Chains A and B, each alone.
Chain A
Amino acid sequence: MAIASNTQALFTMSMVAAILPQLIVAFGATLALLLVAWRRSQRTIAIFTSVVLGMSLLVNMRLLTMPAMQVTQLLKVDGYSSFAFSLILISALVALRMSHSFLKAHTEVHDEYYLLLLLMVLGGGVLVTSDHYASLFLGFELLSISLVGLVGYHRESVYSVESGFKYLILSATASSFMLLGIAFIYSVTGNMSFSAAIPNVIYHQQGLGVFFQLGLLLFVSGIVFKLSIAPFHFWTPDVYQGSPTPVTMLMATVSKVAMFVVLLQCIVAQRYLLLENFQLFLLSFAITSMLLGNVMALKQQHLKRLLAYSSIAHMGYLLIVIIVASAQGLAFTWQSTLFYLAAYIVANLSIFMVIALLQLQGNNGLYQEDITRDDLHGLFWRTPSYALLMILGLLSLAGIPLTMGFIGKFYILTQATLAHAWWLIATLIVGSGIALGYYLPLIFKMFEGRSKASDKTKATLGPKVGRRIDKLLVYSFILLGLVLGILPDIINQFIG
């Protein structure tokens, strides 16, 4: 990277303070390696990892109100990126807890799992703060490759090799598309920083304008692949279904937040939206994924596959914010994006938590790989707390009033209305209507068959490892969902 200021100190203490959360995670990953060499005990490394993530979260909370700051050319820390990183850390902490019970139920070597998790969080942290294509690339790969490791981690599972391989091949293809896009953009503009203004695209030779457009398209399709937006969504259902539930949880939260934030950052900084063709591309992506995701979800029996399709639809909704971004002030765009992501994360964490706990309960105490719609039958009468959590999550995803999801959709609708994007609004409404067709039956299913289930209740609830913490987590998420749904302003205080 061209060294801009050779004379001044390249790295000051205030810069270190700004990226301290990421540094803590990076240092934690190194220490975790040493810890594995010293003592192989799952308890130790699990506690160590949560301490690292917790410390990073605490430090990060302090940064939320800090003014924007450039840390070398590569990174830029501001309130938005800190908020996104806190979302990542929180979801990683929840997934960590779930993984703990998951790994205990299997005879696996577990140390590397936590290491990969830390590396993945680090990748997310680099992504949300990146301000340069090189750091974007590093964060992207750190996140993807550790995720591939996690997807294929559970060796005994029927699906592990299949989903791992599918994810590896497709994500590697996507990242090489993205890289080629960056190469084209760089070769035309001669600068890889986001904040650099685009020079006149026609460079000293003719015909390079085509490469610029092509590069932009390739770059965006690489990132959009990770967000599983419509034409690039084929991997999503298989990988969601085949990976261990805590990993699916990570994929639905950490990876989505990081990718979306970096996409918005890049597009806003480079003012790509002024290009007419580009907007048209995003528009078609958004519309197809909203419709396709919701329609395909209707006939899914497998719960994780259903959530995969619903995530496709949700990313489509969120893409609207990017498309109409130029119409409104930037602050408002960021606020709606981050609020929607927060709502999406809380809902997804709740639902996947219930799925993970149900898997552990399984049939007669054995671990159950597949959770289908039928497993929810009478859940409310067996374990009311799980059912409540699940209902809150589903309602929030469906966007029913008094949940966070409603406020998030409200933000998106406001933005789209201000920009007069009527086609997008129409699709959003139709999509949400279709979505009720699969969220509501799930809720009804939980209330079915009261008399039959009640006698089985005590039998399935055997003594389980770490039940108390899991219960605490379940209750706190129920509370979180309720409180944030009724008082959404709490979150708004943290954004910006």
Chain B
Amino acid sequence: MTSIPLFHVLILSSLLFVIGFIGVVARKNTLFMLMSLEVMLNAVGVAFIGAGSVWQQADGQVMFILILTLAAAEVAVGLALLIRMQKKYRSLDIDALNQMKG
């Protein structure tokens, strides 16, 4: 069995994370922002699993399960807010949310 070096795993997860982060920053549609957040969280999951397999511990996978739980909770709250936003503003554009200034 050829093992993948930890360094490569970490590079991969960083790349995925950056892709997700760019999505959060650049997207205007709130639904896509939530999706990009998921990408970020899963990138972290890749890093944890890679590290866990290198150290031969269960910790990495346990953390990944915790992260999945978090992602589900976050999306639940996010979608609830999304529906309310759609009802109130008739749009999912993040620029609609600009009432507070100063």
Contact across chains for A152 and B6 when beta carbons are under 8 A apart: no
Asked whether A168 lies within 8 Å of B78 as measured between CB atoms, the reply is yes
> CB distance B6 to A305 under 8 Å?
no
Taken residue by residue from 157 to 179, chain A's Cβ proximity to chain B (1 for < 8 Å, 0 otherwise) reads as 01101111110110011011001
For window 187-234 of A, CB contacts with B under 8 Å fall at: 187, 190, 192, 205-208, 211
**A301-317 vs B, Cβ < 8 Å mask (1 yes, 0 no):** 11001000000000000
With A161-B84, A187-B50, A211-B10 known as contacts, the answer to whether A179 contacts B77 (CB < 8 A) is no
Among A164, A165, A305, the residue within 8 A (CB) of B102 is A305
Nearest CB in chain B: distance from A305 CB, A: 6
Question: Which residue of B33, B60, B67, B98 contacts A186 across the interface (Cβ within 8 Å)?
Answer: B60
Q: Is B97 an interface residue (CB 8 A)?
A: yes
Whether a CB of chain B sits under 8 angstroms from the CB of A237 is yes
- Judge if B12 is at the interface, Cβ distance under 8 Å: no
Interface centre among B63, B81, B94 (most CB of A within 10 A): B81
User: Given A161-B84, A173-B24, A179-B67, A187–B47 Cβ distance below 8 Å?
Assistant: yes
Number of interface residues of B (CB under 8 A): 48
Interface residues on A, range: 35 or more
A138 and B84 alpha carbons, distance in the complex (Å): 27
Pairwise interchain contact A152-B81, C-beta atoms closer than 8 A: yes
Contact B102 A300 (CB under 8 A): yes
B14-61 contacts to A, CB under 8 A, are 14, 17, 20-21, 24, 30, 33, 37, 40-41, 43-44, 47-48, 50-51, 54-55, 57-60
Is A141 part of the binding interface, using a Cβ–Cβ cutoff of 8 Å? yes
A268 at the interface (CB under 8 A from B): no
Q: Does A61 contact B (CB under 8 A)?
A: no
Binding site for A on B (CB under 8 A): 5-7, 9-10, 13-14, 17, 20-21, 24, 30, 33, 37, 40-41, 43-44, 47-48, 50-51, 54-55, 57-60, 62-63, 66-67, 70, 73-74, 77-78, 81, 84-85, 88-89, 94, 97-100, 102
Contacts A/B (CB < 8 Å), 23 sampled:
A1-B59, A1-B62, A2-B57, A2-B58, A134-B63, A145-B74, A149-B77, A161-B84, A161-B88, A162-B97, A162-B100, A165-B81, A168-B78, A179-B44, A180-B40, A180-B47, A183-B47, A183-B51, A183-B63, A187-B47, A187-B51, A187-B54, A237-B100
